[in-house]
Each structure stands twice: as structure tokens, then as C-alpha cells.
Structure 1
């Protein structure tokens, strides 16, 4: 099983001047994308028993995502109001006291889990951030860990503490995927992208993936060799869920290659190419709507 660890929420998306609820969250989108791509997919998150929580759980069930180990409480569901500006999503979050924010520990997970994804806004605030970090610390070295900071500045209240947590997660991970904007935020004192890359890779033992929108993605391996993959040429409708689809594509491809412990230029290139192809389908249609396995054959 591939396990996605992080937020499950409701995106309130602006349509014709009104906000319409849709199931979302970076971790949830990744879990759904992995299931659609034909692998056993699970999710660990704090879920709510309210009406929005019902909607989230129904969506996970329909997508065949296992959420058995996600605790459910009577706290509210996190809401993320999303507005598209020039095709890019901008967010405002309502999370205080929510089921996702207030989860304090994850005591169990499927024993047959091969890899875990961490990232997103679930790491910003405690107690949830501490709970996910503790889970990552417990599983580091036992299972493959992919970390995607997926930084949303509007959600961050303690920049220093959050940045420290991100660095700890970077050091634990076997693969780190971040956008060039994420890297600039994490490394505010670095003079340029080259200095940012040097700062991040100096703290890592695994592979760094940098996504660059229409310019594709770059991978930097521990021996400092690089792999660059171009983005697929498509008409972009919006970018919601694109990075989450990349995460799913990377994990699914690495699993299919049996490469979680064999991160070479060839296996990473194959994974990146698959991830870029999947993400191209996501950005070509509205919302976080990742492709099915049949669409990539």
C-alpha cells in the first residue's frame, strides 16, 4: 500500500460568483490519484463526522482509498476557500479547532505499507503537525518517505517554527519534491536558485525533485547528477491538484519499477516522465481531477 498522510478538507471553489464545495486537500488528492492509477492507496488524516466529513469519506470510498486508520471526531471539517487568479489557485483557510487540526497521534497504520507521503498544510499547526512529524520519525528508515512541503503562506502563523519542522522533514525523507516557489520560501537567505538547491541538498541523503511549471521538473540525485524532464504540452485549464498528481505519479512509478531502494538516474527519469504525463491531464481539466490508469495507457 502507498499511504498519504495529511489533510482532507473541503475546497470552496468560486464559480460564477459563488463558492461551491468540493472534496480536496493535498494529501487526499494524492491518495485519490494513486488509487486511480491502479495501486492500493490509503490515507491517514483527522476526519470529521459532520456533513462535510460525510462528503469526504464518501469520496474516499468511491475512489477505493482505505482510510481505516484515520480517526473520526465530532469537530468541524477544515474549509479552504480557493479563487483562481490567472489560472493559479489562491487560498484562505478556516481550520481552527477542526478535526484535521486537532488530531494528536496516529497509533496504527497498515503493516503492508511500502511508502508514505507527507506534506501540505497539515504540518503547519499543532497538534496535527507534531503528530505527522512523529509518524514520519517513527517510519523513517523502515519505509520510503516522499516529502512535499506544498507551502501555503496564508496558512502559516509561525514561520520560524514551521521552517524548522520542514528542515527536519527534509532530513528524514528519501525523496523531497518541491516547487521553485517552495524552495525560495524555505531558503530565504539564499541568493539565487543555485544557492537554494545547494542549501537543500546539503541537508539531504535522498533525491530532490524541483517542479517548474511549464518548464517541467528537475531531479538532483545524491551524487549531484541531474535529470530534467520537460512538461507535456497541453492547454492549461487550472493547476489545482497538479502537484498532488506529480506526487502520486512518482510513488506509483517507483513502486512499479521496484525502485524505492534503487533511485538511479534511469528509475528517477522514468518516474518523473510518468508523473509529468499524469499531471498534464490534471491541469487540462477543471479542479483536482487526476487521471485514471486507462488514460495513461
Structure 2
């Protein structure tokens, strides 16, 4: 890691989630998986920048203000349509979210920003034409930074899995850290045990692949095939919006705390002990549990995460 504070660059969609209130009336909430990851890192006091597309409209302004409030530097480019992307959200009885998207992802190029960690994921990695710019950014940074990938499956956007599967597998081979849910893996590779897919992915290049399983916890697969089980965190769920994104953000933050950053980050990750990896993934699970305990995407602050971990505040003995 460099002597300066590590820099995180997140590339991907920011959008407005249109969520029904208890009376059924639609309400706007800023969101988008990569934007939520950036928010998580900003609330954890990391130096984070988000490359995204936003419209020159009220919804775009709302997203800019939301990101700035959590200390995220926004490097936005204009959408071709002039309007900000949206996702109509439906919550089931258990609070699980499903989405219908109206997206504009015509990202032409990612700015040449220096960073110690590059995080990409979700729709931005598979939706043309912007997906090519994301892939180019990963290729450009992989020798200089730790590459983090969160390949959310979005069947509503890409109902034919052939293209997305090929692109995700290409990105997995370029990544150092992959976080993926069991639901995503069931869609990407139906009929295959998600942890078996993660184990295969670990042979392609990543030093760490983490499979999240909701309330059942997570499984971390290391570069040598070692599987580490992390139990679920007991929590009363308000809804699951932003849970995986919070997990990804806290995972990156916790790895940074172990020196996993920059050109030597991949080697540093491989050198961690199994106990270190368990601690990192457990911390991410606790962060996600805080998020799901309250409505919407609402990742914890540094103080909230420290309190949940039982860590003393700065200045305390």
C-alpha cells in the first residue's frame, strides 16, 4: 500500500429506485449497485470516486447530492437521452427486491484516474455499449490496482445469458476479488452448485471469491481452493435493498485495512492467513446486516460498523 490514503475508483450505474410507499404511491430513492458500493466506502471514510452517467435533470441532481453527502466524489458524464436512469422496485412479503429498469449506459470511456482499488459490477459490466469501456478500464488498471468485481445478474436487462456469462467470466479472470450472490450464480450457471462455480472461478485468476447466501452467511474461496464458511448474522430484516452492495463496499474497506491495495495488492491478498480472510468476510457480513436492518440502501458509518464489531472508537482506551 502507498503511504498516502488508498484511493478507490468505482465504475458503474447510478440511478433512481422508484419504490412504492406503504400507500402504494411511488417514491424516488437514489441507488444503483456501484453507486451503493461507493456510498458504503464514503461512509467508511475512504477516498472514493464514482464514474457514472447522470442526466441533466432533477433526478440526476438528487443523486449527485446523495453521493456528495456520503463523501463520494462524482465523475459523471451526461446520458445520451438527457434523463437519469431508473429502476422500478417491487418488494415481496419478505422484503426482497425485484427491479424493472429504464437504463442509459452509453459510457464512452473511463477517465484515467489513478487508484489503488478499482471496483466494477452489476449492469455496467454487461450492458452495451458502456460495458466495453468498463472492460477497458479493468484491463488498464489490473497491473496497478486491486480489481474488485460484483457481477449482479439482471435477467430483466439481459434475458439471454450467453453474452453476460461470457463477459462475467472474462472479468472474473481479470479480477483479484469477486463477490457474488448464490442467486446470481444460479442464474449464470443453472444446475451447478454456486460454491463449485466459485471454486472454478478461483482457478481463473482471483485471489478471493466470496459467495453470499443471504441469512445463511457466506463462503469464501481462496486462490488455492480453500473454502472458508462464515455464518449468517442474526438480524430482523426491513428489506434487502443494497445488502450485497454494502457487503462489497465493506469487503473492499476491510481488505484495505489489511494492506490489500495497489500493484502489490494481489500478492498481499494471497499472503493473508485464513483467519484474516474470515475476519474480512465476517466484517462484510456484519456491515450488510446493519444495512438490511433498516429500509432501503443505508450502509453503516464507520462509527456504526466499529460499534457492531465491538471495536473502540478513536481516542478510547
| Range of TM-score over shorter length | over 0.9
- The alignment partner of 2:239 has SS state of coil
Q: Gaps spanning 5+ residues in structure 1: where?
A: none
**Residue of structure 2 equivalent to 1:118:** 120
- The alignment partner of 1:11 has SS state of strand
Shift of 1:51: 1.3
1:1-297 aligned at under 5 Å gives the runs 1-15=7-21, 16-67=23-74, 69-73=75-79, 75-86=82-93, 87-95=95-103, 98=104, 101-109=105-113, 111=114, 113-188=115-190, 190=192, 192-193=193-194, 195-260=196-261, 261=265, 262-263=268-269, 264=272, 265-297=274-306
Change (3 A) 1:193 1:66: closer
Shift of 1:292: 0.7
Q: Structure 2 length as normaliser, TM-score?
A: 0.87
- The alignment partner of 2:62 has SS state of helix
Cα distance in 2 for residues equivalent to 1:44 and 1:267:
31
- The alignment partner of 2:76 has SS state of coil
RMSD between aligned residues: 1.6
Kept in 1, the 8 Å contact 2:287–2:299? The answer is yes
- The alignment partner of 1:154 has SS state of coil
Cα distance in 1 for residues equivalent to 2:167 and 2:189:
13
Cα distance in 1 for residues equivalent to 2:221 and 2:39:
27
Cα distance in 2 for residues equivalent to 1:46 and 1:167:
25
Task: Provide the aligned length of Structure 1 versus Structure 2.
Answer: 289
Cα distance in 1 for residues equivalent to 2:159 and 2:139:
23
Change (3 A) 1:162 1:194: closer
Q: Structure 1 length as normaliser, TM-score?
A: 0.92
Shift of 1:249: 0.6
Residues 176-232 of structure 1: CA deviation (Å, up to 9, x unaligned): 110111112222363x34543343333334211000111111111111112221222
Kept in 2, the 8 Å contact 1:187–1:199? The answer is no
Shift of 1:273: 1.5
Change (3 A) 1:198 1:251: closer
Change (3 A) 1:138 1:94: same
